[in-house]
Structure 1
Amino acid sequence: MFFFEKPSAMRQLQRFFRSPSTVCVAAEGHLLTAQEPGDVRPEWKPWHFDALPIALDTIPVACGQGRSGQSHAPKIAAIRQALAGVERVIVATDPGREGSMIAWEVLEHLGYRGRIDRLRLGALDEVSIRRAFAQMAAEPESGERDYAAYLEALCRQYEDWHLGLNGTRAVSLRLRPPAFREPWRFGGVQTPTLALLADLERRIRDFVPRDFHKVALPVTVEDGAELVLWHAPKERIFDPAEAEAIRAAACSWRGPLAVEQKDVRRAPPKLFSKDTLARRCAKRFGWDPQVTARHAQDLYDRGFLSYPRTESEHLPESQARDAAAVIAASAAVLGALPVAAPDADEVVIRRGPRGHYVKDPGEHHAIVPLRKAPRPGEVGPEAWRLWELVAKGFLAAHLPDGIDARTTVAAEVATPLGPRRFAVSGSVVTVPGWRALYGAEADADAEAVPGKARRDDEPSAGRLPPVRDGAAAEGGEATVEVSKTEPPRRITRGEMPVVMGRLIDQVEDPQIRRALENPVNPNEPKGLGTAATRDAVLPKLVKSHYVALLGGKDPAIEVTEVGLAFIDAVRRVFPAYGDPVGRAVFESELAEIGRATTRVEATRRADAFRARTRARVEALIEAVAGAERLAVIPGAPPQAGGGPRRAPTAAMVGFATSLAARKGLRLPRGLKSDAAICRAFLDEHAGARAAGPREPAPDGGTSARSPSPAMLRYAASLARQKNLPGLPPEVETDFAACRRFLDAHAGPAEPEGKAAPKRPAGRTDKPKRAPRATAAPRPRRGRSGAENRPPA
């Protein structure tokens, strides 16, 4: 029996065998799902902290449901019937942990104990299928190794279930502030990912720009040519006096120019992994990474692309001989290209880590086109754009390097601070090479490191005038140009999977970078999650209101006040779950389960991991039980549904601003544009709803709470109306005294000798009602119709 993941793959392979003793089944995704706690034990359904931790040796499973809500029970029954009398099962699901789990969990559930082999289909074209059969025939223990991959996926599910269940309940019940009513969702991967984003968010918010200086020196060469040299060292000049000293010295410079000319080779970009393809599609087309993954999977299922859920950007050396045939097939449908596709003897093969072909690219190689290319109209327009992007990348990888002629003109200027180098560079394209395929897009696709500040560009002037080495020149009036440092860039939605996979690019400490290196495969450092699951993390963070997406084609990610408060709470109680690097190292240990060569070894490692997971959960619950709930949340959660936010009234903003000034508080981000955040701030720090922090008394204790500005304004208006000499001192400083004053003087009686104004015709006089006993009482309307009251 062949066990496929999708009917499309099953149809591709059924062309290769015709036998009455061979049957095929297709699962169409996971048929089994982990049961909810309340389905295991009824007492686990309510959220009670005393019931935690909830821990099981094995998570019970049940028949899942499809997207339409239909139960998978009939499919399970059909597979059970198909297994009757089967002596050998060939698992032909998508290669990878998840594909292995889809088949193995059903076979284990149904109690199958026969022989199992693994057919690893890296692509669904005829050549790849035949190679996969040959590899399976040469690997008699393929089933044993695939069982290890299944156990790794099962252990990941085991940890997700226990951490998500216990962590979410514990943190929500014990640490979540009362102002936030939705659960605080917790996860083994999503929480460290949020910590990474939160650290970047704080660096951005705390960033203070600084002026730095560059010195421009116009020079005239002996033959009359003119150009501008720059002193812009990597170690920026922050001291204006230092810049001025260099400028003054440069004005009187004269001497020889040093000219250096060299050819700079520019190799084509690497091939696509799942994460880098998602990043490119987000930048080019504005696609969500999940959209990219869906189109790539569809192209794989139809035999047009290799397996898409890969972390590798390299190909195995054994596939170098296929390049010419794949290029010819792709070029035949790509249409008119700016550069001709190379013939078989002209194809450039770059080997080694800096090239495209390596000895071992990892579990799955890079995403590449196949000999089978889609004909016009055979796939949808978006799928075509994706295939075209991958096909052009593959073609570029086999074209010659580009070559630029780069000229650098420099001068050494003596200054009171020592010699300083002034220089400018210019480049001219002499050989376009692979860049002819893209034109101007070749430079546009240069990828910056996510989460880092933009690098200073080297001073350049495009095409420089011809200057010979050693030519005499004379400086003119030098000037100082002032620039500002920039904060780190926010990570975008399309960059998020890349950041999770290449955590090593986000750290500067050499020791930490070494900890993130992967000795098993140096091309794939340790990261957060897997290529198959990273796309799902950001939507979970958005749904939990931990992060928000800003505007633009590829929106940047902003951590909300809720997300910052959540991470602060987690790190205060259990710092390990707020450590992205620690989690990446932990995940590499988890991957050791999948690398076991025998079923016995894989089972031993999996049992040890489950025991370790239960111990970590128990430690988490114990730490949360002894922690204090956060007293303050620095903002309010965004409105559910992501709809437009209502702006607060001007009175609310004014009240919040005066309250913050009086209490020395910092206004939360978004208060002036979001009424929910403004209201949460007022509820927390004003009125009788919140105890509020007491102001320190001179004796070191705490004094009575101060009245709000609205109460004081109302009390002052009453004093004027009743001709009182002024407010007693205690009314201005003591909340209770101010309350008593308002209760005593807010009655309906008017001051003696003062005539009551006429009321409008048809209006009936009603006795005025004293304001309710709240921290921010509602003053009565003045008879002129004007209002003097605190914000609603």
Structure 2
Amino acid sequence: MSPPSSGRTLFFFEKPSAMRQLQRFFHSPNTVCVAAEGHLLSAEEPGSIRPEWKPWRFDTLPIVLATIPVSYGTNRSGQSHEPKIAAIRQALSGVERVIIATDPGREGSMIAWEVLEHLGWRGRVDRLKLGALDDVSIRRAFAALAKEPSSGERDYAAYLEALCRQYEDYHLGLNGTRAISLRLRPPAFREPWRFGGVQTPTLAILTDLEERIRSFVPQDFFKVALHLGTQSGAELILWHAPKERIFDVEIAETIRTAAVTWSGPLTVEHKDVRRAPPRLFSKDTLARRCAKRFGWDPQHTAGIAQDLYDQGYLSYPRTESEYLPEGQAADATTVIVAIATVLTDLHSLIARDHVPVIRRGIKGHYVKDPGEHHAIVPLRKVPERSRLSADQFQLWELVAKAYLAAHLPDGIDARTSVTAEVRTPIGPKRFAVSGNVIRAPGWRTVYGSETELEADAVPGKARREGEAMSARLPVVNDGEGASAVTADIATAMTEPPRRITRGELPVVMGRLIDQVDDPMVKRALENPVNPNEPKGLGTAATRDTILPKLLKSRYITLSNGKDPAIEVTEVGLAFITAVRRVFPAYGDPVGRATFEAELAEIGRAKTRAEAIQRADAFQHRTRARLDELIAVISNSPVVSLDPSLIPYGQADNQPPTSAMLSFAVSLAERKGVKLPRGCKSSISVCRAFLDTHAGPRAPQNDGVSQPGQQRVPSAAMLSYARGLAEQRGITCPTEIETNFDACRRFLDAHASQPRQRTPEPSSGGARGNKPAEREKRRDRGGEMPGKATTRRRA
């Protein structure tokens, strides 16, 4: 589609709401606007490309495509996007220039570019990056567009990066899930073993932590308390609790014996400690705070933040940065005044002549380059409480208070520390206690009595033991003499690492550097392009989608609580063990983070030609890795897993079918074993019992027969058919031994008949119906699902 020389411009928006925000700026009759509804095109399923790819067969792998075919997607109502794409095709007619005005990220770029590529557009393309939808931000975006004549070229590179992420995700999910499910998956686990480039190393992080927690052996350690009396009559307790903990009680006793006879001068130090406000919010840290404060799922937080962005109340929310560009420092006064019109209880904090505190550098809030998108902040446009839902206002208030706190003075605490040095046979030992008094609350007045003052602990790490604190210290002068009244030993116990919570997982994925201790590995995770954003897993836009996938696969479970902790199941542990055995690179989070950093280089290409070259190299590498993966898996043994360790799924809460239960009773009688507890009430327990005692399935070419090839029944079906024949006093047709359909017809005909009593004590019976028998066949001899999971990543 070649453009005419008409001077007309088409603006391509991601949503109608954003289009309406900007249309008031357009007065020229040569301006045309169109809006998508997210992705208008979707990737084709393998079976719709080639029929032989629909069944799950190992001998068809790897399934590799040069490009992923796409078809028209559907909206939430199930209606095809074909008319919308046809309307965009019509709107492009007579247009000379396209300006992409979708959300400013890789996914936003892809939404527009994939349609333009599909329609064969060959004209000029520019990129309008709307970091926020208030009037000032929109004008700034147009000013930046005018200064960057190659914005379209650079945005095409961002599109290719998103396309490569989708390419890898599609092929890894398709081939990896099928190959691992067909070759490695334990027979008792009936769902696919889902595999992905980001979700698998994320599970590896959780698995490593799970193993550390399970193998943790608590140890006693010791602290020594020194009870003192001073010359002025004051009484206080000093502690010897070094960072290098005391695990030997004899050492603690040596120190205690020396301390009990101590006397001498005390060292008292008074100093002011400045407390700077916390950083602003990125998408991940906002999700963590909302999980901790409100108990929200990260996806819920992301949806609320996106709604507020679309309405022009927050800046772009899918960001990894916690900083603002130095050029926005001049906006602080206006934004703070606007916030105060809504949060009227904070109006007293902002005097008429208030000058915001601007903190620059990585220890502050303003830097020269905050990254592709700056921190999430409120805008000049503020909401009316009545126009927002309760959740929307809570989130806006949280972000607004963080912004206000960032521009208020430091808090100041008056800190007093009292120390004494005790000579012992193993060297001098320091005993100390300290106390804080707030001299100036500073930014903390924004939060009042809220617990916002506490620094967030590093997820997955054991809690650090702080210095001994006293709620209130007596008046003691520096150099004042004191003597021991007594000394005793206190015993404490080491704690295991804390589990990562649902709200913390996106932060862990983005800041993998905090999870490693090796200095060399930490250096490998540093990001020289943007030191404020170290290498991590996935992108800010997609990290909150990983946990639902892991839950669906039963690799993890969630505990109870507002922000539940994540626990890895035996299935998840077995899966990661298998992946690391056959292809360790896919179970290495650090290696994956480095790989993702290389992938991001595609989006940083300065020209279209450079981006295409990098994308081609990446896709070639992806195909080579797939060949290696399939080759290794083809020679790997099936994973062994006790069926009783498989966690329940949503469908497992239902009782087994009558046919399944009758078969289980018959097996138990013939083999002289007891039915396990829960076998009559849980389909999962019953299924595990059958998997253990009914014998292996008959080989069926990966569970799918070739066209024209006769399918044989499973060993379980044959065993059940023979048992029914024995109960009914009839002869099994010979054809059921080799013909699946004949065996199924025999079961349908006889399983629903009333049980005939026979003198044989071991003969079981079955009462059921045809739907129940079909359910049994799905449980014991059904095929694996034929659809691969293909999800977009950006």
TM value normalised by structure 1: 0.83
Unaligned runs of 5+ in 1: 648-669, 692-765, 774-792
Shift of 1:471: 0.8
Number of the residue aligned with 1:305: 314
Residue among 10, 26, 34 paired with 2:19? 10
**Matches of 2:474 and 2:582, distance apart in 1:** 64
1:377 maps to which of 345, 370, 386: 386
Cα distance between partner residues in 2 of 1:363 and 1:642: 43
Conserved in 1, the CA contact under 8 Å of 2:12 and 2:33? yes
**Cα shift at 1:67:** 1.5
Residues 188 and 577, structure 1, Cα contact 8 Å, conserved in 2: yes
Structure 2: tracts of 5 or more residues without a match = 1-9, 657-676, 698-756, 765-794
How do 1:651-662 residues align onto structure 2 when only pairs under 5 Å count? Answer: none
Are the counterparts in 2 of residues 402 and 433 from structure 1 also a CA contact under 8 Å?
Answer: yes
Q: Quick one: distance in 2 between partners of 1:343 and 1:193?
A: 50
CA distance in 2, matches of 1:510, 1:274: 27
- Corresponding residue of 2:783: none
Shift of the alpha carbon at 1:632?
A: 3.2
2:754 equivalent in structure 1? none
CA distance in 1: counterparts of 2:76 and 2:615, whole angstroms: 31
Match in the other structure for 2:411? 402
Q: Counterpart in 2 of 1:217?
A: 226
Partners of 1:496 and 1:671 lie apart in 2 by: 34
CA distance in 2, matches of 1:125, 1:625: 56
Determine which of 173, 194, 203 is the counterpart of 1:194: 203
> Per-residue CA shift, 1:304-337, capped at 9, x if unaligned?
0000000000000000000000000011111212
Q: Give the corresponding residue for 1:103.
A: 112
Alignment match, 1:54: 63
Distance 2:13 2:598 in 1: 29
Aligned-residue offset at 1:628: 1.1
Q: Structure 1: how far apart are the matches of 2:687 and 2:52?
A: 35
- Could you tell me how far 1:439 is from its partner in structure 2? 2.0
Shift of residue 629, structure 1, vs aligned partner: 1.1
Q: CA deviation at 1:631?
A: 2.9
Query: How far off its partner does 1:689 sit?
Result: 4.7
Q: Among the aligned pairs, what percent are the same residue?
A: 69
Q: What residue in structure 1 maps to residue 659 of structure 2? A: none
- Residue identity opposite 1:312 in structure 2: S
Residues 1:374 and 1:474: Cα distance change in structure 2 (over 3 Å)? same
CA distance in 1, matches of 2:567, 2:655: 19
Matched residues in 2 for 1:344 and 1:132: separation? 30
Q: Residues 652 and 684 of structure 2 are in contact (CA less than 8 Å); yes or no, is this contact kept in structure 1? A: no
Matched residue of 2:397: which SS?
helix
Structure 1 residues 193-233: Cα deviation after superposition (integer angstroms, max 9, x where no partner): 00110111111111111111111111001100010000100
Distance in structure 1 (CA, Å) of the matches to 2:186 and 2:452? 49
Q: Distance in 1 between matches of 2:39 and 2:15?
A: 11
| 2:178 equivalent to 1:180 | no
User: Is residue 294 of structure 1 aligned with residue 299 of structure 2?
Assistant: no
Whether 2:583 is the aligned partner of 1:577: answer no
Q: How many residues align?
A: 676
Q: Does the 8 Å CA contact 2:652/2:682 hold for their aligned counterparts?
A: no
Higher-RCO chain (CA-CA 8 Å, sequence separation at least 6) = 2
**SS at structure 1 position matched to 2:378:** coil
- Contact 1:549/1:555 (8 A) holds in 2: yes
Q: Report the CA distance shift for 1:683/1:408 in structure 2 as closer, same or farther (over 3 A).
A: farther
Does the CA-based 8 Å contact 2:282-2:319 persist in structure 1?
Answer: yes
The 5-angstrom pairing of residues 143-292 of structure 1 reads 143-292=152-301
TM-score w.r.t. structure 2 length?
0.82
How much has 1:149 moved relative to structure 2? 0.3
Residue 640 of structure 1: CA displacement?
2.2
Q: For residues 767 and 56 of structure 1, do their structure 2 counterparts lie closer, same or farther at Cα, with a shift above 3 Å needed?
A: closer
> How far 1:246 sits from its partner (Å)?
1.2
Residue among 600, 616, 632 paired with 1:591: 600
Q: How does 1:319-398 map to 2 (within 5 A)?
A: 319-337=328-346, 339-343=348-352, 345-398=354-407
Cα–Cα, structure 1 residues 495 and 671, in superposed 2: closer, same or farther, change >3 Å?
Answer: farther
Partner of 1:706: none
Say if 2:187 and 2:691, in contact at 8 Å, map to a contact too. Answer: no
For residue 440 of structure 1, the aligned residue among 444, 449, 474 is: 449
Q: Give the 3-state SS of the residue equivalent to 1:238 in structure 2.
A: coil
In 1, the alpha carbon distance for the partners of 2:412 and 2:189 equals: 58
- Match of residue 469 from structure 1: 478
Q: Distance in 1 between matches of 2:643 and 2:758?
A: 42
Aligned to 2:518: 509
Range that drifts further, 629-638 or 300-309:
629-638
Question: 1:381 deviation in Å?
Answer: 1.2
Q: 1 CA distance for matches of 2:351 and 2:369?
A: 26
Are residues 593 and 350 of structure 1, via their aligned partners in 2, closer, same or farther at CA, if it must alter by over 3 Å? same
**What letter corresponds to residue 442 of structure 2 in structure 1?**
G
CA contact (8 A) 2:200 2:586 kept: yes
1:383-782 superposed matches below 5 A:
383-443=392-452, 445-633=454-642, 635-641=644-650, 689=695, 769-771=760-762
Residues 364/236 of structure 1: CA separation in 2 closer, same or farther (3 Å cut)? same
Quote the Cα distance in structure 1 between the aligned partners of 2:457 and 2:142.
Answer: 41
Q: Name the residue aligned to 2:700.
A: none
The correspondence for 1:81, drawn from 63, 86, 90, is 90
Q: Deviations over 1:655-682 (max 9, x none)?
A: xxxxxxxxxxxxxxx999x978877887
- Provide the C-alpha distance between the structure 2 equivalents of 1:312 and 1:226, rounded to a whole number of angstroms: 49
For residue 439 of structure 2, give the secondary structure of its aligned residue in structure 1: strand
RMSD: 2.2
Cα distance in 2 for residues equivalent to 1:327 and 1:16: 26
Check whether the contact 1:219–1:473 (CA below 8 A) recurs between aligned residues. yes
User: Counterpart of 2:269 in 1: which secondary structure?
Assistant: strand
- Structure 1 distance, partners of 2:291, 2:483, is 49
CA drift at 1:344: 5.9
- Whole-angstrom distance in 2 between the partners of 1:633 and 1:203: 22
User: For 1:253 and 1:463, how far apart are their aligned partners in 2?
Assistant: 24
CA contact (8 A) 2:433 2:468 kept: yes
Larger radius of gyration: 1
Range moving further from structure 2, 95-104 or 336-345: 336-345
Shift of 1:636: 3.5
2: distance between equivalents of 1:468 and 1:681?
Answer: 72
Deviations 1:713-761 (A, max 9, x none): xxxxxxxxxxxxxxxxxxxxxxxxxxxxxxxxxxxxxxxxxxxxxxxxx
Q: Distance in 2 between matches of 1:401 and 1:634?
A: 57
Structure 1: distance between partners of 2:258 and 2:678: 51
Instruction: Write the deviation string for residues 257-297 of structure 1: whole angstroms up to 9, x where unpaired.
Output: 11111111000000000000000001110000111111100
Decide whether the 8 Å contact of 1:339 with 1:436 is kept in 2: no
Task: From the superposition, tell whether residues 97 and 515 of structure 1 become closer, same or farther in structure 2 (CA, over 3 Å).
Answer: same
- The answer to whether the Cα contact below 8 Å between 1:246 and 1:415 also exists between their aligned partners in 2 is yes
Report the 3-state secondary structure (helix = DSSP H, G, I; strand = E; otherwise coil) of the residue aligned with 2:551: helix
Change (3 A) 1:635 1:339: farther
